[in-house]
Amino acid sequence: QSLLKTETLGKVIEYQESCLSTQIIAHQLAQEGTPSGTVVLTEEQTAGRGRLARKWDSAHGKGIWMSVILRPDIVPHKAPQFTLVAAVAVVRAVEEVTGLKPAIKWPNDILLDGKKCTGILTELQSDADGIQAMIIGIGLNVNQSMENFDESVQGIATSLKMASGREVNRQVLVRSILFHLEQYTELYLKEGFAPLKIIWESFSVTIGKPVLARMANETLEGIAEGINDDGVLQLRTADGRIHGIYSADIEMLNR
């Protein structure tokens, strides 16, 4: 803790050897009034959760399973931008600690060699006064080998170790993620999304490419033109129309 180079992130750390999900613990702490910057860390999640009600494979001692509680003074519709800010922070940390060059697939999957090594799940606690807490869940596959993954994700998941051939120190990584997350959060609150949008786009593998966007009610094929100032993906379909995509599963089409 004393090794952290942050002002507020990680000043309060809740560590548990094993838990259902750090998101559940973080929601509880947030409700009890824990300060902004509180971090929940665990070795193992028995019910780790992903986006779109999926489960998140969280092997014991192999990854970073972390939830960060922030209480930013922003309006709820800006929340998706924050997920992009978190993705940028994780990419910077992975680059810094391992030398690997990860890419971001909209909105917040981090890929190495085209396979997913990180997922980010942002959940809100809000009321009539606005956002009370933002809970940013980060799942980073660090030292898994193929057999540590559930069969259902083998072939689509990877870890830093699988990509680099080396064990990676998780503490060093956590420190680096929190440092960058704090820096980018400050930048965001001071200057808005514009500078972060540029950084995000520089890491993106989605922009300019043909993709399939699977949403709850429909699937659209088109070119991912970019993200707008709210972080909403702009998809151009064959008829030339631009669709704003708020939430979807993106499949890259190799054509």
**From the annotation, which residues make up the binding site for biotin?**
45, 49-51, 116
Q: Between residues 12 and 187, which has the closer beta carbon with respect to ligand BTN?
A: 12
Strands (DSSP E) along 20-165, which ranges?
39-45, 63-70, 103-105, 109-112, 115-127, 130-141
Sequence ranges of the binding site: 45, 49-51, 116
Which of 9, 10, 14, 22: binder of ligand BTN (CB under 6 A)? 22
| CA-based nearest residue to 191, from 85, 71, 80 | 85
Do strands 103-105 and 63-70 pair parallel, antiparallel, or not at all (unpaired)?
unpaired
Say which residues have a Cβ less than 8 Å from residue 179's Cβ, sequence separation at least 6: 4, 5, 6, 9, 93
157 contributes a contact to ligand BTN by CB under 6 A:
no
Closest distance of CB 55 from ligand BTN, Å:
9
Site string for ligand BTN, 37-66 (x = CB under 6 A): --------x--xxxx--x-x-x------xx
User: Closest approach of Cβ 241 to ligand BTN, in Å?
Assistant: 28
Shortest gap between Cβ of 61 and ligand BTN (angstroms)? Answer: 14
- C-alpha 118/C-alpha 141 separation (Å) is 6
Asked if residue 20 lies in contact with residue 47, where contact means CB atoms within 8 angstroms, the answer is yes
* Contacts of ligand BTN in 57-116 (CB under 6 A): 58, 65-67, 109
Q: Report how far residue 193's alpha carbon sits from residue 199's, in angstroms, rounded to the nearest whole number.
A: 10
For the CB of residue 255, give the shortest distance to ligand BTN in the complex, in Å.
25
Give the SS3 label for residue 202. helix
**Interface with ligand BTN (CB under 6 A):** 21-23, 45, 48-51, 54, 56, 58, 65-67, 109, 119-121, 137-139
